[in-house]
Amino acid sequence: MPMVFLDRLPVPSIRVYTTISIAILSCSVYYAAQIVKDPAWRTNQTEIAVGDGNNVTGNGIANDSRTIGVHLEELLACMVQEPGCIWTLINMAYCVLILLGKSIQKLVFGELRVSERQHLKDKFWNFVFYKFIFVFGVLNVQYMDEVILWCAWFTALGFLSLLSQLCKDRFEYLSFSPTTPGWSHARLLGLLAAILALSLFMLLLCAAAAFFFVSFNTFAFMAAECILLGVRTIHVMLRYAIHLYDTRGAAGNTSPRSWDKRGPLAYYTELTSELTVLAVDFLHHIHMLLWSNIFLSMASLVICMQLRYLFHEIQRRITKHRNYLAVLSHMKQNYPMASRDELAENSDNCAICWEKMESARKLPCGHLFHNSCLQSWLEQDTSCPTCRLTLSMQANHRDSPLELAVVSQTPVRRNENHFFHFDGSRYVSWLPSFSVEVTHSRLRGDILALAHSNSQLDAMARQVEQLFPHYPKNIILEDLRVTRSVELTIENILDGRLILPHHMMEEPETEPVAQTQTTVLPGSFAQNSWDPRFDIPAADSGEEPSNLGGRFSKSSIERELILQRRKEHMLLSARRRYLEKHRNSESETRNANGNLS
């Protein structure tokens, strides 16, 4: 692999490289200065040898009437003419660019993560590879100065796209954390804005170039790259804005955002920018292929591969969008928005996002969800998230009352029931017991008839009754009519009406225990002869320390600390319990042995 080889190349560190570059630059500046000292350097420059420098110096200072400005100008002109000097200048430009990149990285990103570095490297080599093919395969540039101009253009472009890629990666990383400080968002957004501005500037630049020097085709090549960069940057910025809007709501945790409006907005932002990028890229590649007449070359092969990939991506995206639209229209036709009463009745949160429901869609089984939550679930699966009722995506039941009537006459029978009963108290006293009934409905896709069947309600009620025999059946039935799910009713009983939901059971235990030493190392107390290294101090005998549980701090550092303490405490008390238990059993066996002997 070329990458492996490149990795092993001894690349000098930036410090060394900068030093060398500056040294070479100053050498060439000195050299040029020596030449320029002679006012007549333009005419006799070929005859001046470096060794004559000393002779010239004496004369130069004496009769040099040129101002410093003119002097510098001539110095520059000389350096541009000298082939050795121009390479040092180019080298210096790259060096400055690298330093600039490095300082931006330090300023905005700090230490790069491994994946970011990897992405950057991949992107860089891809970029170099494709631009090489473009310059030498497609444009077929012959002259050195043209190559240098294209190099300069692509260097600027590549630099900006690498930064933009880095911003994207970093944004994706930051979006995984709720506690990112505001200023790191601000810096990233600032950098994105700068990239956007520069890409617009470059667009203007190539428009200007199109006016004066280059052909329309060249303009199209250059413009396409700028547009791609710009659109990608805008895309990241928009996503960023949506994300910030979203998480600010989460941080407050009080103001429920209008999620329903946000969902489609985010979706269409994503869709349009992705499609724009793909379409522009596609056209760009087709343009390359057609313009250069390179059908029988390696370059055309590479471009065709890229075209194929882009085509598949576009196709995939459009298929996905079709699916989205289908689900949307299906939902609109089949699942009505829940009425205000229904919302009030089901006052709990949306089961998908756990947030409050201001408006919701109602599935035939009676479960309510946010519009967009339900939408994104139905795009990947066609069943009710709560009760697993299979939803038919093809049939439109509203439009076929006849079929509905026929179906509702046939007795509703579930083909296959999985009844999963979990009796937690068998394992740990506090664990709840619950049953989950799993229904496979294979009723020719009919979903309305199923939910309203009385016989099914009765069957469900019987199941609940088995678990809670002391509950009157009519209450269970009442609740089942609302929830239409055994699981939910049981949950209702456990949480709402039964006296002891599990958080209540813990409450008596939160007596003020003098519990501060959670990080005491085992071994500091030797209170028992039996393996004293693992004895836990007596102060640790309380239940979950009251200062740790039951509180959800607003500060992330505190939360982390509390979690850490709780974990340590859990481990310590588990260890203590284990040792106590085994000590008892050991002493019992020892006693038994003693009695025997």
Partner 1 sequence: MITDNLYVNIMAGSALRRLMAEYKQLTLNPPEGIIAGPINEENFFEWEALITGPEGTCFEGGVFPAKLIFPPDYPLSPPKMQFTCEMFHPNIYADGRVCISILHAPGDDPMGYESSAERWSPVQSVEKILLSVVSMLAEPNDESGANVDAAKMWREDRPEFERIAQKLVRKTLGIPC
Percent composition of the chain: helix, strand, coil (DSSP 3-state, to 5) = 70, 5, 25
Of the two residues 215 and 584, which places its CB atom closer to partner 1 in the complex? 584
CB closer to partner 1 out of 332 and 502: 502
Shortest Cβ 23–partner 1 spacing (Å): 38
Q: Taking the complex as a whole, how short is the minimal distance between the CB of residue 502 and partner 1, in angstroms?
A: 6
**Nearest distance, CB of residue 95 and partner 1, angstroms:** 28
End-to-end CA distance of the chain: 75
Task: Kindly state the tokens that stand for 275.
Answer: 């499609």
Q: Which residues contact 287 (CB under 8 A, 6 or more apart)?
A: 217, 220, 221, 224
Q: How far is the CB of 430 from partner 1 (least distance, A)?
A: 5
Q: How far apart, in whole angstroms, are the C-alpha atoms of residue 13 and residue 67?
A: 40
Q: How far is the CB of 369 from partner 1 (least distance, A)?
A: 9
Q: Output the smallest distance, CB 273 to partner 1, in A.
A: 10
Compute the half-sphere exposure of residue 49: CA atoms within 13 Å on the CB side of its CA: 2
What are the residues whose beta carbons fall under 8 Å from the beta carbon of 574, sequence distance 6 or more?
none
For partner 1, the closer of residues 185 and 440 by Cβ is 440
Q: Please, what is the angle between helix 53-63 and helix 14-37, to 10°?
A: 60
Nearer to partner 1, 183 or 427 (CB): 427
- Residue 17 or 173: the one with the smaller Cβ distance to partner 1 is 173
Q: How far is the CB of 295 from partner 1 (least distance, A)?
A: 21
Judge whether 232 and 199 are in contact, CB under 8 Å: no
Between 403 and 491, whose beta carbon lies closer to partner 1? 491
E strand or H helix that includes residue 565: helix 556-596
Half-sphere exposure of 43 (CA within 13 A, CB side): 3
Sheet strands (E) in 427-530: 433-440
Query: What is the spatial distance between Cα 321 and Cα 315, in angstroms, rounded to a whole number?
Result: 10
SS (H, E, C) 371-397: HHHHHHHHCCCCECCCCCCECCCCCCH
Please classify residue 192 by burial: count the beta carbons closer than 10 Å to its beta carbon, then call 0-12 exposed, 13-18 middle and 19+ buried: buried
- The alpha carbon of residue 244 and the mean position of all alpha carbons in its chain are separated, in whole angstroms, by 13
What minimum distance in Å lies between the beta carbon of 443 and partner 1?
Answer: 15
In terms of C-beta density within 10 A (0-12 exposed, 13-18 middle, 19 or more buried), how is residue 474 classed? exposed
With a CB cutoff of 8 Å and minimum separation 6, the contacts of 297 are 137
Min. distance of Cβ 593 from partner 1 in angstroms?
Answer: 21
> Closest separation between CB of residue 353 and partner 1, Å?
5
Please state the closest distance from residue 360 (CB atom) to partner 1, in A: 14
45 vs 433 by CB, closer to partner 1: 433
Going by C-beta distance under 8 Å and a sequence separation of 6 or more, which residues neighbour residue 361? 331, 335, 336, 337, 338, 368, 369, 370, 371, 374
Identify which of residues 462 and 577 has a Cβ nearer to partner 1 in the complex.
Answer: 577
Decide whether 94 or 377 has the Cβ nearer to partner 1.
377
For 563-592, letters b (16+ CB in 10 Å) and e give eebeeebeebbeebeebeeeeeeeeeeeee
Nearer to partner 1, 60 or 445 (CB): 445
Q: Which C-beta is closer to partner 1: that of 33 or that of 289?
A: 289
